Structure formats: structure tokens, C-alpha cells
Structure 1
Amino acid sequence: MKLENKVAIVTGAASGLGLATCKALAAAGATVVGFDLDADKLREALGPSISSFAVDVADEASVQRSVAAVVCMHGRVNIAVNCAGVLGPCKTLSKGQLFPSELWDRVLAVNLTGTFNVVRHAALAMTNNEPEDTGERGVIINTASGAAKGGQMGQAAYSASKAGVIGMTIPVARDLAEHGIRVLAVSPGLFESGMSAGMPQKVSDGLIEKMLFPRRMGRAQEFAALVVHLVQNAYMNATVVDIDCGTR
């Protein structure tokens, strides 16, 4: 899909991977609308050149209203990139205390259900698009994580939610193929972000030691560049792409 004059929604747009993705898509010619829970931070991060909406992706009504508003403003949605997520670190048992069920529910609500909320409503909007010459109407890219397969201590909820994102990729792609909509997931390893900033130094150093070359955290711009490529590459569909510098 060519990015010029396309309309893209990006969740988690106020910081990190989402913010970098907004900037990369806009630089490539797309009209970008950022979604994030923190409205003030969102406006400050994106500035006046990129539209934004305060959205709680875990609240379906909030997602539905905001996607409808994007269609009203710009006439369509061509691209949706889900970067919104929360970490929710907590051990299954810690000092005799159980992992709080409300924390588990919140992490799954944002990372998994929230992703699916955006997928469903963006896909519905995409079905109204005039197809390109190739028959393509839209592209949806979700953010998984290397933690889905190799989660660290305290990441039970986060890892489970990201494994769910991976698990939905093929069936949702199959569901939406008849509409000319591609569905992919990107699975980043350890990236420079607000999430990694809260990670104990010992843990992050251990993960970096397992990388190949270059042995460092990924940069948000590198994630965003991959997203741009996946949108543009029409033969990429129904797959999860690792970007983790060989971390195993």
C-alpha cells in the first residue's frame, strides 16, 4: 500500500513506539491520527500537525466513537497500528500475596482486548474503502513482544496478553482477507521506551548480553521503519515479524 494520502490510526501515540510510528507514517505521506489515554501528553508529543484523540482502547465505546470521528474528519481509515500497552509487573506469588486479579484484568484489557477493539472497528471502517488496483483496502499491524515466548519474572500478565496478540494474527488475517485487509504483528525485543526504563538494570543487562549484533536496545525509529515497510509491502500478511537482534 502506498502511504501518500492514506489515513492511519496509531494507538499508544503519546510516547515510545507509537510516537515514532506516527512520525514515520506522516513523513512517508500519510495523514496520521494518534490515539492515547493521556490527552495532554498526546497533544504535546504530536504537536499541531498530527490530529489526536484521547482514547481508552480497553473501552469499546471510546474506540468506536474515535474511529467514527476519524472517518468523519478524513473520510476513511486505511491503516491501523496498535502500540498501546501496559506492563503491569507483578510476581504470581510475592511475600505471601497473590498476583492481584484486578491488575491481571487491566493488563489483558488494554494489551489484548484493547488491540482487538481497534482491530474490529478499524476493519469495519476499512471495508467501506474503495479498493486499490491490487484489491487492497487496509492494513492492520499489532504489537506483540518477545515476552510472549520468553517472559521475565513478574511478566505473567504481560506475556500472556502478548501471546494472545500473536495468536490472533493468523485467524484475524483469514477473517479479513476477503475484504482486502492485511493483518500482521510485530514482535519487538528490548527497546528504549518507558516500559524498559522501569526494568531493573540487572534484567536489561542480561537481555542485552543475549543479543547478537548490534548489542544494544532497539530504537523506536527502527520499529517504526519496519511498520512503514510492512504497510508498503503488499505480500506481507498473516505473520509475526520479530525485531529483536537475535535475542534468545
Structure 2
Amino acid sequence: MDKVVTTAAEAVEGIADGASLAVGGFGLSGVPDILIQALYEAGTGALHVVSNNCGAMERGLALLLTAGRIARVTGSYIGANREFARQYLAGEVEVEMIPQGTLAERLRAGGSGIPAFYTPAGVGTQVADGGMPWRYDGHGGVALASPPKEVRDFEGTSYVLERAIRTDFALVRAARGDRHGNLVFSKSARNFNPLAAMAGRITVAEVEELVEPGGIDPDQVHLPGIFVQRVLPLTAAQAAEKRIERRTTREARS
């Protein structure tokens, strides 16, 4: 039951070239930076990543993307990541864009043993009809487009069939965790982390604070340890580093 590993290299052991990864985080919040750094140092490439976005400010998945280690991204947001946009338009990376709520539910369904579900999101658009550019040819044309999906009516409303997502591995970050893999996330840093963890066949969690079994009130557990196979305790310095993607301030009132 003790799932603790002592090094980041040990935590990502077995993640080979071409592996699929569900990765938690949103922007720079709740991103498993230490595990991503370990993958970068291991030289792992041709990765198929499922995540809300692909990092920002050279942090998170942007580290792997800039190094050319990511072959395919399934996500819902490109945002201000110019390198992500450049690679996509140049045909260097394949991108499947998904409505954000649909992405969340596809991950959750994968972890819950639900193979597919119907949703109204995307009906009447290229999400359902097909034709969304997955890969460009580098010359302004589309090399690979999304196929059409099944659409079915229920009580007069149309719904599109979306398939669950399961990945070889999942990388997540939690505020607290115990040796059995039970996890607690902090505020907005929870974001996609529990869903990504559920979708991975082998889930690795970096935790800012490691406690002994029983140290977390069962009612406070956000993700049960059954979904987690490896736990990496962070150092105090690693846990304390919290980047801010866009800082907005104002003058204090007198």
C-alpha cells in the first residue's frame, strides 16, 4: 500500500516514447512541474498529451512542447502559447480541440468505466459534423481533419456521442497526499487534476505535503488512492514555488 517513490526519475519510470499522458493543471495552476521536468530530463518524446492546455511561459507542458517532445495534444485551449500555435499551424503537432466541459467529462468517464456518453455541446458545429483541422500541412492546407460523430435525438434535442479518454499514464499535483495515494487539492489548483488522475492507467502524483495514512480526514479526500499508483513528495522549495501567469495589481487606497 505504500506508494511513495523517492525521486522524480523513479516516479516517471516506464513512460516510454509515444506514451499517452493525461496531465492536470490549468495555465500555471496545479501543474505537475516536477514530473514534467523529470520527463524532459529523461528525453522522452513523441508523447500524446491530454490536458486543458499545453503550458505557458515555458512552464509545464510548454517545456516538452518547445523541445519537440509532443506529437499530439488533446485539449481545449491554446491561449497565449505562441509556440503551441506555431507548431500547430506548421503541421508539427497534431491537435484535437474539445469543448472544455466535454474534455472534463471524457476524462471522468474514462476513469469511471463509461465508454461513451451523449452531450449537446458541439451539435451543429464541426465538433459533431467533422472537418476540424487536427493537423495542418505547413502550407495553409489541412492534412488531417476530424471525422464526423454520431448524433442522436433524445426527446426532441440533438446530442453528439463523445468517447471516454483513457491514457497510459497520468501526471497530477496535489496539496496533500498520504502513502496510500489519497489526495487533497487546494482551491483552483484542483481544476483538471482529479479527472486526469482518474483517466490514467498508471497515475503519478507529486504532493506538496506527505502525511501518514489517517492524516487526512476521509471526508476531505478529493481523490481516493485507488486511482493513484505512485506518490512523489516534493521538497519544501519545490512545494513553495508558485508561478503567476498574469499579475494584475492596483494602487492601494489611502
TM-score scaled by length of structure 1: 0.31
Which has a greater percent of helix? 1
Which has a greater percent of strand? 2
